[in-house]
Structure 1
């Protein structure tokens, strides 16, 4: 059964239940969600969408974006998430690789692409918008929102599609055909995009639900599609925060909407807890992901939501989730001195290369990278091992390895233990190359109190991993939506 079919069937069982609460508080029932998805599907097919057609998707998280994405997949199209915020050059490079036949964007983005005053305003706000209408002249266009100057002539209106006929379909897509393309990394010369099928995405949702109980009556507060979809398939309620929601606003909505589950990037949760040190008692599960969760954040989350289970999710765009560990287990592992960061029991196939690199496989694995041959095993670039309980332990990233003489230092092996020390909020290693010896000066950057830290380190890390220098910073540099540590920028901050 396809992903879309499962969602439609759930909606048919509980048509009067609230499926989604939008950022502005507007509610959408399961019955209306189902009707809109089928109406958009019918409208796209009538407008000529063919099986396998890529739809460039430039719509921010909202009820409209959910309905549109599901309607595209139900019509056998492929949703291409290219992110216009990546900048014009990268956006154009991604477009060249994906070669979508359709473009779906918010009307304000079309206006920003065509109207000079809007582009100038966006540039002043630090956003370099691609000229979407110009670089996609051969595409069919669809806009979300009210019509604005700059929307291409002949573009379809999402609102009109969603109000159209919604006949019951016999077919809502091939489970093994591409359903979504997600750009993750690469350069303008060689962009990289992950290709998922309905089947691989459905497997990912099922894996989430094996570790995260969900059902009618639950309220999941998140803007993450990969947590919102299992919410809807289980009959629970998806609560969306508004765009650019403040940390205080996010916390207030958790209480106002009676959230039972929420997902945060660790750095975002830190901001939320600064604004609201106590989270509502309705919370039963707090998920952290997209970046490693420092011990300090885990402790704060447990203190802020004592009735909730705090979970850390290890996942990759190519296959998710890979493992889920509780905060208690992660902190106990760190305290044991075993080294590395506990990830939890593998939820999918896991093997190891001779050098310790983690290799992943299973039905949740993506089809491959766009333009490349399909694969059945993913080299992750992460070094890992299994502990005595069969749980994955992250030892570090291969590319982050520092060279000190004959010793190879993997930051991920030691950073969790350092960050768990009293007075240390976060810790990160970085190497500053020595132009004379070719060796690297090993610098430890910490957020917190670095006084006396050098004397305490020998008790928690290997002698060869002791830093040459310790630098105290007000914060570690981060980038992207996941606010992951940016080691290149960090190297610049600590270079003398």
Structure 2
């Protein structure tokens, strides 16, 4: 079984002088420099008492130094636990308790802003409730200069990466826990996905079957799922500024992509670029789309604007990524929410209730503190069209009205295909007796016209089941999204429409 860490370090030997990582300020590490820093970091950690099996809390913005530390931690036998200090003190405490980490790495400014003092008071006045990171009973690593509030004895991240002569190359260990990523779960019962060096390598190998990367490629993204396979392929990975939102500044996005051959966008970002009229560079070969449904109407617009770019819609989740990839042409030709064929090694089956169940070598070990997984229940409803998967809805998004079960994902792609509709979402708004009123939220395309809601209402009886016809249609300038991946926030939309 392949090993992610070994594959990255072997690429360092094979592609040594070629550029590997470039940050937003243009500073670049070659593949050889990246590998040397990873191995040196691992050795210095071991010299400081870091032992195999240790977990490290990780709250460092994406960048070459952060990637070196993360890989170095894994090379030392440890596990990187990605934690967001902005989730609030109570949930943060529950997550760190579950992680049982021995070390923590964080930005110096985070230590300063979370420790008692004027910066923490300022953060609170701005509505940011940060946990006291410096009070964690762990060994600390800081990213950035020393600031008041940084624990005494905190190690500089860059100091860890200084060259160590003859730092050993790690042995393959695909079964070693590599990363922990918190996903769903309540404050009382947080859930964290555990991936191994082997499951991550299998994920990258699966992606490589549809995403063509090589030494002549330059990937521009902050997504590890695309950046790490770029390193393995000997490609050049460049990072946008931390927190950059493509939809807010399409011109800056286009400038950052100059010379890039590959990138990853969420559908809302791609829509914003197309709406702006900003031209993306001709160097682009493939654009990966994911983290939210990728529907034919958006792909048709993108095909017209980017005729020489291959669009790839990636389906997966934190537990197993990727599951399937469909090209834009395949999805447009199909018309529904086609996911594509399961990728090599991925096994998919449809349960009796229609839920999609998946497994394979890229499946995570399981959830932290729980038994290992052999199969993952996706929460998505799907069907097989020959050997291709087609998404038909979400179990948890099901709307109950008058005894009928309505699955929004079955109807939203059809409605989104109507003239003048850029996006369409069906949500159920509960009433006082437990039934739900169905509301259709529309985002108009630039040429929609003033009577979009009336035209859609007139067309719907000929397109969707009578049981799914909305009680109300509302037109919104945009849909609420959440997180860095800008997924549709159905809960926020439901709350907005319930007012």
1:284: Cα distance to partner?
0.7
CA contact (8 A) 2:178 2:196 kept: yes
- Does residue 316 (structure 1) correspond to residue 313 (structure 2)? The answer is no
Deviations 1:438-478 (Å, cap 9, x if unpaired)? 32211111111323211111232222221111111111111
Match of 1:127 in 2: 128
- Does residue 251 (structure 1) correspond to residue 251 (structure 2)? The answer is no
Cα-Cα RMSD: 1.5
Counterpart Cα distance in 1 of 2:41 and 2:270 = 36
1:247: Cα distance to partner?
3.3
Deviations 1:371-393 (Å, cap 9, x if unpaired)? 101110111111111113x1111
1:103: Cα distance to partner?
0.4
Task: Choose which of 466, 469, 472 in structure 1 pairs with 2:472.
Answer: 469
- Does residue 180 (structure 1) correspond to residue 179 (structure 2)? The answer is yes
CA contact (8 A) 1:43 1:164 kept: no
CA contact (8 A) 1:175 1:198 kept: yes
TM-score by length of 2: 0.94
Task: Choose which of 343, 366, 369 in structure 1 pairs with 2:367.
Answer: 369
CA gap of 1:73–1:404, structure 2 versus 1, over 3 A, is same
- Does residue 344 (structure 1) correspond to residue 348 (structure 2)? The answer is no
Counterpart Cα distance in 1 of 2:101 and 2:261 = 39
Q: Secondary structure at the match of 1:450?
A: helix
TM-score by length of 1: 0.95
- Does residue 68 (structure 1) correspond to residue 69 (structure 2)? The answer is yes
Q: What pairs with 1:41-190 in structure 2 (closer than 5 Å)?
A: 41-134=42-135, 136=136, 138-172=137-171, 174-190=173-189
CA contact (8 A) 2:251 2:278 kept: no
CA gap of 1:19–1:375, structure 2 versus 1, over 3 A, is same
Deviations 1:291-311 (Å, cap 9, x if unpaired)? 112444323322332110111
Match of 2:298 in 1: 297
Deviations 1:83-135 (Å, cap 9, x if unpaired)? 1122222111100111100001111111111153222333455432221012x
Q: Secondary structure at the match of 1:94?
A: helix
Counterpart Cα distance in 2 of 1:466 and 1:122 = 46
Instruction: List alignment gaps of at least 5 residues for structure 2.
Output: 445-451
- Range with greater deviation from structure 2 (372-381 or 173-182): 173-182
CA gap of 1:74–1:173, structure 2 versus 1, over 3 A, is farther
Match of 1:207 in 2: 206
CA contact (8 A) 1:315 1:322 kept: yes
CA contact (8 A) 1:295 1:420 kept: yes
CA contact (8 A) 1:113 1:132 kept: yes
CA contact (8 A) 1:54 1:80 kept: yes
CA contact (8 A) 2:295 2:337 kept: no
Task: Choose which of 416, 424, 447 in structure 2 pairs with 1:419.
Answer: 416
Q: Secondary structure at the match of 1:71?
A: helix
Counterpart Cα distance in 2 of 1:25 and 1:171 = 30
Match of 2:490 in 1: 487
Match of 1:194 in 2: 193
1:275: Cα distance to partner?
4.2
- Does residue 387 (structure 1) correspond to residue 388 (structure 2)? The answer is no
Match of 1:337 in 2: none
1:170: Cα distance to partner?
4.6
Match of 1:456 in 2: 459
Counterpart Cα distance in 1 of 2:294 and 2:242 = 24
Counterpart Cα distance in 2 of 1:117 and 1:294 = 48
- Range with greater deviation from structure 2 (163-172 or 6-15): 163-172
Match of 1:410 in 2: 407
Counterpart Cα distance in 1 of 2:20 and 2:385 = 40
CA contact (8 A) 2:295 2:331 kept: no
- Range with greater deviation from structure 2 (397-406 or 316-325): 397-406
- Range with greater deviation from structure 2 (159-168 or 62-71): 159-168
1:173: Cα distance to partner?
5.7
CA contact (8 A) 1:73 1:79 kept: yes
1:405: Cα distance to partner?
2.6
CA contact (8 A) 2:266 2:292 kept: yes
Counterpart Cα distance in 2 of 1:14 and 1:71 = 19
CA contact (8 A) 1:424 1:446 kept: yes
Counterpart Cα distance in 2 of 1:76 and 1:98 = 16
Counterpart Cα distance in 2 of 1:473 and 1:435 = 25
Match of 1:441 in 2: 437
CA gap of 1:272–1:149, structure 2 versus 1, over 3 A, is farther
Instruction: List alignment gaps of at least 5 residues for structure 1.
Output: 335-339
1:276: Cα distance to partner?
4.8
- Range with greater deviation from structure 2 (324-333 or 29-38): 324-333
Task: Kindly tell me the number of residue pairs found equivalent between the two proteins.
Answer: 485
